[in-house]
């Protein structure tokens, strides 16, 4: 599309405390090798004034793949964010308050939120180029081009750079870090809801039920044993998982009957699932089993398992074989159906009140339209191994892993197991588990807690310099 006109808009603003900053919205045009315009990325930059060229810059994005940055934007990083009173016990859709972000990170870093091709106001201009951008490496290449361009245009090539990705964005984090040129001063990667194993070439050699029993126990305690200490219950469940339960699964029918019965009793206790079901399925259960049978007649949310709705049908999920994952019906998914529209309402309200829209564009928010066509398999490297390689190559690189305790999609116990199996330098790794779901900043106090963790992570670099 040769007649495409790139969008650029900016305005100086102030926080309620009087701190000046620049808000900038702009297109980044992506072209073919022959120079023909193919696609657009869209960004929101928040730059403290007066601008400090040495100030850290955080580049942030959501996942999907196929999601715009509106979740992180409206839930955590923007100058205004959404708060949901009473969460997770909310109506459908949830009532919310759109208010000033009292934990706006502009004091410690400048912020750039990025919408990838095919999301938000970032159109794919040539349909035949979809395969180039809707795949793991092509996506990362486009982000690397964007970041280098942004740093160059803003004379910030020597500034410390941090990548903050959520969900699929955590895969983008490491692939993008691998694509960035060496002269980019990459200092940290912030992984919110880690999903490095999705589409990975490598494997985690463990029974999935063993690794996931930690999050299953957290959810079981919330619904059935609220009087018990959460930390103790989860710890005991994980000790059982890696001990007697793992042994029983390995032994199969060689396990003596009395030991099998004891394991079955404990598994029912820690998982909350019916003993008969577990017996019939040889001590194993699927993600679908857990979401549809933990609370009979109700569907427990994949994204925040404290939330549930009446189960419609059998809760059958769609398999995305290209990524070894399943997708739930979003109309039935308790978290998405309660919160998703609120995020969309907030970004529209923010535009109406303070921003300027690109003319003639429709805001794209159909995540599945991109996700269902995403190519994970063509990426040749192993995303599970990449953090190890990146930290060996860059002795200054640090990781912050953040997870929600009730997230069944990107579980906290995945990070625990992953770090036990891969040789990442412990002195450059930080981990946080919040009382939240997949969007770990949603819920009373969580945006503040996560902002504090990010601020501490960034300022930790200053202490070492």
pLDDT digits (tens, 9 = 90+) for 122-143: 999 999 999 999 999 999 999 9
Count CB atoms within 10 A of the CB of residue 317.
18
pLDDT at residue number 206: 86
Lowest-confidence segment of 184-193, 312-321, 348-357, 413-422 by average pLDDT: 312-321
Say if residue 452's pLDDT is above 90. Answer: yes
Q: Delimit the domains of the chain by residue range.
A: 8-202+339-464, 212-328
Among 330-344, 381-395, 451-465, the range with the most confident prediction by mean pLDDT is: 381-395
The answer to whether residues 270 and 282 touch, using CB atoms and an 8 Å cutoff, is no
Confidence of residue 325 (pLDDT cuts 50, 70, 90): low
Question: Cβ distance 427 to 154 under 8 Å?
Answer: no
* Mean local confidence (pLDDT), 350-357: 96
pLDDT for 130 equals: 94
Q: Provide the pLDDT for residue 460.
A: 86
Q: Are strands 110-115 and 57-61 parallel, antiparallel or unpaired?
A: parallel
pLDDT for 465 equals 45
The three-point CA angle 447-213-232 to 5° equals 70
pLDDT band at 1; cut points 50, 70, 90? very low
pLDDT at 333: 87
Q: In the chain, pLDDT over 70 holds for what percent of residues?
A: 95
pLDDT: is 3 or 248 the higher one? 248
Three-state SS string over the chain comes to CCCCCCCEEEEEEECCCCCEEEEEEEEEEEECCCCCEEEEEEEEEEEECCCCCCCCEEEEECCCCCCCCHHHHHHHHCCEEEECCCCCCCCCCCCCEEEECCCCHHHCCEEEEEECCCEECECECCHHHHHHHCEHHHHHHHHHHHHHHHHHHCCCCCCCEEEEEECHHHHHHHHHHHHCCCCCCEEEEEEECCCCCCCCCCCCCCCHHHHHHHHHHHHHHHHHCCCCCHHHHHHHHHHHHHHHHHHHHHHHHHCCHHHHHHHHHHHHHHHCCCHHHHHHCCCCCCHHHHHHHCCCCEEECCCCCCCEEECCCCCCCEEECCCCEEECCCCCCHHHHHHHHHHHHHHHHHHHHHCCCCCCCCCECCHHHHHCCCECCCCCCCCCCHHHHHHHHCCCCEEEEEEECCCCCCCHHHHHHHHHHCCCCHHHEEEEEECCCCCCCCCCCHHHHHHHHHHHHHHHHHHHC
Sign, CA dihedral 101-443-302-210, equals positive
Average pLDDT taken over every residue of the chain: 93
Number of neighbours of residue 254 by Cβ within 10 angstroms: 8
269-322 per-position pLDDT tens digit: 999 999 999 999 999 999 999 999 999 999 999 999 999 998 876 555 554 455
Q: Is the peptide bond before 88 cis (omega within 30 degrees of 0)?
A: yes
Query: pLDDT grade, residue 83 (50/70/90)?
Result: very high
Q: Check whether 331 has a pLDDT greater than 80.
A: no
Q: Evaluate whether 50 touches 154 at the Cβ level (below 8 Å).
A: no
Mean pLDDT over 44-61 rounds to 97
Residue 249 clears pLDDT 80, i.e. is over it = yes
**pLDDT reported for residue 314:** 58
Asked if pLDDT for residue 62 goes beyond 60, the answer is yes
Name the band, by pLDDT with cuts 50, 70 and 90, for residue 329: low
428: its two tokens: 């450059």
Residue 198 CA: distances (Å) to CA of 84, 320, 323, 386? 30, 11, 6, 13
Higher pLDDT, 157 or 314: 157
**Could you identify the residue written with the tokens 């063993």?**
210
Average pLDDT over residues 385-399: 97
Cβ-contact 28, 41 below 8 angstroms: yes
Residues of 194-223 as b/e, b for ≥16 C-beta within 10 angstroms?
A: bbbbbbbeeebebbebbbbbbbbbbbbbbe
- pLDDT score of 313: 66
Do 168 and 195 contact (CB within 8 A), yes or no?
yes
Residues of the chain above pLDDT 90, percent: 83
Give the residue-averaged pLDDT of 182-211: 93
Give the CATH number of domain 8-202+339-464; options: 3.50.30.50, 3.40.50.1820, 3.40.640.10, 3.30.1330.20.
3.40.50.1820
- Token look-up 């099998």 returns 260
Q: Could you tell me if 244 and 266 are in contact, meaning their C-beta atoms sit under 8 angstroms apart?
A: yes
pTM recorded for the entire structure? 0.94
The average pLDDT across 332-345 equals 88
* Residue of higher predicted confidence among 255 and 367: 255
Q: Higher-confidence residue: 327 or 42?
A: 42
Model confidence at 174: pLDDT above 70 = yes
pLDDT of the residue at 121 = 97
């Amino acid at each position: 599309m040769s007649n495409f006109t790139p969008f650029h808009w900016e305005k100086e603003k102030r926080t309620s405390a009087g701190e000046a900053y620049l808000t900038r919205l702009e297109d980044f045009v992506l072209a073919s090798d022959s120079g023909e315009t193919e696609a657009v990325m869209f960004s929101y930059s928040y730059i403290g004034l007066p601008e400090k060229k040495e100030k850290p810059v955080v580049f942030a994005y959501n996942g999907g793949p196929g999601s715009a940055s509106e979740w992180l934007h409206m839930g955590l990083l923007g100058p205004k964010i959404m708060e949901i009173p009473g969460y997770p016990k909310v109506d459908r859709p949830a009532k919310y308050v759109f208010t000033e972000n009292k934990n706006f990170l502009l004091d410690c870093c400048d912020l750039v939120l990025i919408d990838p091709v095919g999301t938000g106001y970032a159109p794919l201009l040539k349909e035949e180029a979809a395969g180039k951008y809707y795949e793991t490496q092509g996506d990362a290449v486009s982000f690397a081009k964007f970041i280098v361009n942004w740093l160059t245009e803003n004379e910030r090539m020597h500034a410390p750079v941090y990548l903050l990705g959520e969900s699929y964005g955590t895969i983008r984090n490491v692939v993008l870090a691998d694509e960035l040129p060496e002269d980019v001063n990459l200092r940290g990667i912030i992984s919110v809801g880690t999903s490095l194993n999705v589409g990975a070439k490598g494997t985690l050699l463990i029974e999935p039920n063993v690794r996931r029993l930690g999050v299953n126990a957290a959810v079981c305690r919330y619904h059935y044993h609220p009087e018990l200490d959460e930390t103790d219950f989860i710890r005991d469940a994980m000790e059982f998982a890696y001990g007697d339960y793992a042994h029983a699964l390995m032994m199969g029918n060689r396990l003596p009957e009395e030991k099998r019965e004891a394991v079955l009793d404990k598994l029912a206790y820690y998982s909350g699932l019916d003993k008969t079901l577990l017996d019939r399925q040889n001590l194993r259960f699927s993600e679908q089993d857990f979401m549809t049978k933990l609370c009979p007649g109700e569907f427990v949310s994949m994204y925040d398992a404290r939330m549930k709705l009446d189960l419609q049908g059998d809760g059958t999920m769609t398999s995305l074989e290209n990524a070894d994952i399943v997708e739930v019906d979003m109309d039935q998914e308790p978290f998405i159906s309660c919160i998703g529209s609120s995020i969309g309402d907030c970004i529209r309200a923010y535009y109406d009140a303070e921003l300027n829209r690109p003319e003639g564009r429709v805001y794209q928010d159909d995540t599945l339209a991109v996700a269902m066509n995403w190519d994970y398999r063509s990426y040749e490297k192993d995303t599970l191994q990449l953090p190890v390689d990146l930290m060996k190559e860059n002795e200054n690189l640090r990781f912050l892993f953040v997870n929600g305790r009730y997230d069944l999609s990107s579980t906290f116990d995945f990070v625990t197991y992953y770090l036990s199996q891969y040789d990442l330098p412990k002195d450059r790794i930080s981990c946080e588990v919040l009382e939240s779901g997949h969007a770990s900043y949603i819920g009373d106090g969580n945006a503040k807690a996560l902002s504090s963790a990010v601020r501490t992570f960034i300022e930790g670099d200053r202490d070492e310099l």
